[in-house]
Amino acid sequence: MTCELDLAACRRMFDGGAWSERNHPIRSDGREPLLSIDDLYRACLQAARQVDARAARERAGTEAGRHTASAGAGEVWFNVELEDQLYNRQQEPTRPEQMPQPADGGLLGYAERMSCTLGGKGFCLRVTDLHCFDVGVFRKLCRYLAPLIAHLRDDPVPRLARTILFIGNYAYTPFGSHMDPDPQFQYVVHGRRAAHVWTPACWKREPRDSLQAWRYFEEAETFELDTGDAIYWPAGHYHVFESRGLSMAVTFAFPQVDAPAGAEEREGLASKHGFYNCPPPIDPPPLGPGDRLRGQPDLPVGLLAAGRGANERVIACNGHLLRLPALIDYTPIVARINSGEPFACDEVVAELRPQIPPSVGVAADRAALEILGAFVAIHALDRI
């Protein structure tokens, strides 16, 4: 069975037009995991390429040292437990050798390499907006969140999801006990973790050291989590996680966003499938007439009646607005994509050829393939 949030879980987090003010564990029900370790590894390899690129720019003197490696929306942080203090407060820039590499063969191999390199010290790798690094991960998370996103239509405050991946064998969350201004929940992909949560009133009752949260565990509500479990906590609640050995988990946060002002903004927001950021466009190889393509029917493409100008049509998909000439009727293409049925490029080329005027400046068949390529670039279509 596909892993997705059921209605009961959605109502435990959000019901009656408001987010819950209580912590709620969501136990695994035997469905297939939300993500596999291989999914996480694939996304982390993409994140590692961004770290490599930043390091290369630093060596070339084109970029000053930074604490993170950024890829559009995503950022990467690496923390090591020091002998004389529990947390790494130095926040040195993430180095390429601290990231998963192809030679590791997977995240278990990566964790073994880090353990050997660090002499047994704990480590934590954090990747924000994990879903932006791999479109396969993005699609799985879209499907997982779909029931909750539909449920949130009653929320008077528009919110979109962001993700943070935590991998490591660290004792406690590297930045200590803290609170966030947004409701959140965390899903355990691998291993075991413990969540310790305090209400704002409890945490603020006396001065506390956030980097020694273990001293206050008796006052916290504690949840033991295994692979496939999740835990929801409200905005403003203080929390810290323990990793019981090596663990991997994805946190979903729901920051507030501005309400869309116009039709394009509303369609663009809807095309994000509940996420604050989406995977960036790719530069795919040119398509040929014999290539076969397929769309994702549960992540449909939207077609606006008109763009901002009379000479354009706007396609919305995966957080991107694709602007195309209004000379062509794109309705049949969008219908093909949203059907999920595979099709050959030459079928669409034959449909578009009569609609492409000579004024376009390139051969009609080439222009039609370039249009299909634009859909591939925004992850609306996959080669099969």
For residues 226 and 299, membership in a common domain is answered with: no
- Pick from 49-63, 120-134, 185-199 the range whose average pLDDT is largest: 185-199
Tell me, yes or no, whether 37 lies in a domain: yes
For residues 26 and 139, membership in a common domain is answered with: yes
Tell me, yes or no, whether 261 lies in a domain: no
pLDDT tens-digit profile of 224-235? 999 999 999 999
- Write out the chain in H/E/C secondary structure: CCCCCCHHHHHHHEECCEECCCCEEECCCCCCCCCCHHHHHHHHHHHHHHHHHHHHHHHCCCCCCCCCEEECCEEEEEEECECCECCCCCCCCCCHHHCCCHHHCCHHHHHHHHHHHCCCCCEEEEEECHHHHCHHHHHHHHHHHHHHHHHHHHCCCCECEEEEEEEECCCECCCCCECCCCCEEEEEEEEEEEEEEECHHHHCCCCCCHHHHHHHHHHCEEEEECCCCEEEECCCCEEEEEEEEEEEEEEEECCECCCCCCHHHHHHHHCCCCECCCCCCCCCCCCCCCCEEECCCCCCCEECCCCCCCCEEEEEECCEEEEEECCCCCHHHHHHHHHCCCEEHHHHHHHHHHHCCHHHCCCHHHHHHHHHHHHHHCCCCEEC
Over 70: is that where the pLDDT of 123 sits? yes
For residues 176 and 317, membership in a common domain is answered with: no
For residues 120 and 248, membership in a common domain is answered with: yes
For residues 249 and 287, membership in a common domain is answered with: no
pLDDT of residue 58: 73
Half-sphere exposure of 197 (CA within 13 A, CB side): 23
Tell me, yes or no, whether 258 lies in a domain: no
Assign residue 16 the CATH number of its domain: 2.60.120.650
pLDDT tens-digit profile of 291-316? 999 999 999 999 876 656 667 889 99
Q: What's the mean per-residue pLDDT of the chain?
A: 87
For residues 33 and 137, membership in a common domain is answered with: yes
For residues 17 and 71, membership in a common domain is answered with: yes
For residues 217 and 321, membership in a common domain is answered with: no
For residues 212 and 315, membership in a common domain is answered with: no
Over 90: is that where the pLDDT of 193 sits? yes
Tell me, yes or no, whether 188 lies in a domain: yes
Domain total of the chain:
2
Over 60: is that where the pLDDT of 289 sits? yes
For residues 186 and 303, membership in a common domain is answered with: no
- Are 13 and 20 in contact by the 8 Å Cβ rule? The answer is yes
Tell me, yes or no, whether 158 lies in a domain: yes
For residues 195 and 296, membership in a common domain is answered with: no
How confident is the model over 89-95, as a mean pLDDT? 64
Tell me, yes or no, whether 169 lies in a domain: yes
Tell me, yes or no, whether 273 lies in a domain: no
Position 3 confidence tier, pLDDT thresholds 50, 70, 90: low
Whole domain around residue 334: which residue ranges?
281-383
Tell me, yes or no, whether 104 lies in a domain: yes
For residues 331 and 239, membership in a common domain is answered with: no
Share of the chain above pLDDT 70, in %: 90
